[in-house]
Structure 1
Amino acid sequence: MATPMKRAVGDNNTSAYLTRQPSRWRRNLVLLALMLAVAALAWNWKRLHEQALVSAAYSARTGCVCRFVSQRSLKSCGGDVRMAGLGRMARFVWLSEDAANHAVKASVPLFASQSATFDNKAGCQLEPWTG
Structure 2
Amino acid sequence: MATAKTRSRKSRLWLWSVLLVVALLGAAWLAWGEGLRKTGGVGSAYAARVACSCRFVAGRSLEDCARDKLEGMELISLSEDAATKSVTASIPLVASDTASYREGYGCMLQEWKG
Q: TM-score with structure 2 length normalisation? A: 0.78
Number of corresponding residues: 109
Residue in structure 2 matched with residue 6 of structure 1 by the alignment = none
Match of 1:103 in 2: 86
Matches within 5 A, 1:6-45: 19-20=2-3, 21-22=6-7, 23-24=10-11, 25-45=13-33
User: Structure 1-normalised TM-score?
Assistant: 0.69
Which segments of 5 or more consecutive residues in structure 1 lack a partner in the other structure?
1-17
CA distance in 2, matches of 1:128, 1:64: 15
The structure with the largest helix share of the pair is 2
List aligned pairs for 1:79-98, cutoff 5 A: 79-81=67-69, 84-85=70-71, 87=72, 90-98=73-81
CA shift, 1:28, in A, is 3.2
Distance 1:19 1:109 in 2: 44
Q: Which has the larger radius of gyration?
A: 1
Q: Percent same amino acid among aligned pairs?
A: 39
| Cα-Cα RMSD | 2.1
Structure 1 CA distance for aligned equivalents of residues 84 and 44 of structure 2: 19
Q: Which runs of 5+ in 2 are unaligned?
A: none
SS in structure 2 opposite 1:106? strand
